[in-house]
Amino acid sequence: MRTYPVAENPDLIERFFRYVKIDTQSAEGAEAQPSTQKQHDLAQLLYEELCEMGVQADYDREHCYLYAVLPGEEPALGFVAHMDTSPAASGTNVLPRIEAKYQGGDIVLKPGETEAERIVLSPADFPELLAHVGEDLIVTDGTTLLGADDKAGVAEIMNLLAYYAAHPEKPHRTIRIAFTPDEEVWRGTEHFDGRRFGAKEAYTVDGGKLGEIQYECFNAASAKLEVAGRSTHPGSAKNAMLNAQNIAMEFHAMLPSQERPEHTEGYEGFYHLDTMEGGVEYTVMKYIVRDHDSERFAQRKAYLERVAAYLNEKYRRAAGGKDLLRLTLTDQYYNMAIPLQDRMDLVTRAKELLRSLGVEPYTVPVRGGTDGTVLTYRGIPCPNLCTGGYNYHGRFEYASVQEMEACAQLLILLAAV
């Protein structure tokens, strides 16, 4: 079992269990922020816990942002984590438990009378499990996600504040924190108040495997394709029907199949069909478009526009001179590596402290985005740190107790003077 030097954090895992049991799943397409009111349930609990610690807290009850400050030496250092969990899997009735001293092999999350009913976390599907032999793993019953993304980060930041609040004799920088809503639906910084946050440099605590430090991310856009069709009776449809579903599938078929998420890794970008719904008269498909390279990112968006234009031209005569396809592209965030080039000291410091814990650091590109992506472009440089969680956004999510403890210690060291 891997062990790391840790400070006092007897409540870290207890906190984590408390937080993951609160359903904070966000929702796409909502107009209001937060996108779900239940995110306030966790924000209110955290606010109360901060007040009990004696930490000055500032709760934006309208938009569900929670800020706090623990005074120390200047300049301040900020830490950011998000409270919501992904819409991709249920966050209702999360039942966390510890698989103590994992010995390898399958972990039965939920037994069943038949093989089909059993839910198993297996190294055959997730080989990374075997790197945790001897560690204590936090899992669920396999019917929900765990919520380590990003309640592990929330718990580790709360542990940081609790540690220094309980040890006023230990010098530390002024610690400023922000817990955000709706990060999973790309709205985590929509109403983020930099003045209330108060830090000019920070870390998001929203990564995965212990040792990961991330300062590169995708350039990201959403693409919404709307296809108008014309419905007729199938028995007399020849030269009359325009099936919006078929035209939408034709559009999708023109995108390179090898450039889908399931076929890409590292710095490889992709087109991802996220949702598709509709019928003969109207069909809508929503994509996310990703690439680390800004030039290739622009080329991807331009290609989508060319495909839509081609199909509009193809069907214009049959549609009576009208365009059947309407494509809406919206940029979401950009690769934070460019503005972080001048603040690599934040990355270097985190690497040094990980090594002091006996952990060899490494950098990997974020195949996604964090709140720090947008904050970095707003002038708050914000690399991303590991939390000790794995298999995010699904029911096979798990976290390592030992890695979470090491990540919590990393935050304590980063804030120390």
Predicted confidence band of residue 6 (pLDDT cuts 50, 70, 90): low
Is 243 contained in some domain?
yes
pLDDT recorded at residue 222: 95
CB 36 within 8 A of CB 26: yes
pLDDT recorded at residue 10: 66
Predicted confidence band of residue 29 (pLDDT cuts 50, 70, 90): confident
Same domain, 97 and 145: yes
Lookup result for tokens 């970095």: 376
pLDDT in tens, 149-185: 999 999 999 999 999 999 999 999 999 999 999 999 9
pLDDT recorded at residue 366: 87
CB count in 10 Å sphere of residue 364: 17
What mean pLDDT do residues 13-42 have?
A: 97
Same domain, 207 and 243: no
Of 25-29, 55-59, 384-388, give the lowest mean pLDDT range: 25-29
Same domain, 171 and 63: yes
Tell the burial category of 144 from Cβ atoms under 10 Å away from its Cβ (0-12, 13-18, 19+). Answer: buried
Look up the CATH number of the domain holding residue 388.
3.40.630.10
| Cα gap 297→163, rounded to integer Å | 43
What mean pLDDT do residues 352-360 have?
A: 97
CB 169 within 8 A of CB 178: no
SS3 118: coil
Lookup result for tokens 């399958």: 106
| Cα gap 394→340, rounded to integer Å | 31
Same domain, 57 and 125: yes
CB 121 within 8 A of CB 396: yes
DSSP codes joined into one string, 59-88: EETTTTEEEEEE--EEEEEEEEEE--B-TT
What percentage of the chain reaches a pLDDT higher than 70? 98
Question: Of residues 136, 150, 182, 183, which has the active-site annotation?
Answer: 183
Amino acid at 292: H
pLDDT in tens, 85-129: 999 999 999 999 999 999 999 999 999 888 878 999 999 999 999
| Cα gap 390→148, rounded to integer Å | 8
pLDDT recorded at residue 411: 98
pLDDT recorded at residue 7: 53
CB 229 within 8 A of CB 324: yes
Amino acid at 202: A
pLDDT recorded at residue 8: 59
Is 83 contained in some domain?
yes
Question: Of residues 23, 49, 84, 184, which has the active-site annotation?
Answer: 84
CA contacts within 13 A on the Cβ side of 155: 30
Structure tokens at 343: 């603040």
Is 188 contained in some domain?
yes
Amino acid at 253: A
DSSP bridge partners of 325: 227
Q: Is pLDDT at 9 greater than 70 in this prediction?
A: no
Please count the residues of the chain: 417
| H or E element at residue 354 | helix 345-356
| Cα gap 229→284, rounded to integer Å | 11
Same domain, 307 and 187: no
Radius of gyration for the alpha carbons in the chain, expressed in angstroms and rounded: 23
Look up the CATH number of the domain holding residue 312.
3.30.70.360
Q: What is the pTM of this model?
A: 0.89
Q: What is the DSSP letter of 39?
A: H
Could you tell me the residue range of the domain that residue 254 belongs to? 220-333
Is 278 contained in some domain?
yes
Same domain, 213 and 224: no
Same domain, 180 and 268: no
pLDDT in tens, 326-340: 999 999 999 999 999
pLDDT in tens, 287-324: 999 999 999 999 999 999 999 999 999 999 999 999 99
Is 7 contained in some domain?
no
Same domain, 248 and 325: yes
Same domain, 377 and 265: no
Q: How many domains does the chain have?
A: 2
Same domain, 60 and 117: yes
Q: Is 183 a catalytic residue?
A: yes
What mean pLDDT do residues 348-366 have?
A: 96
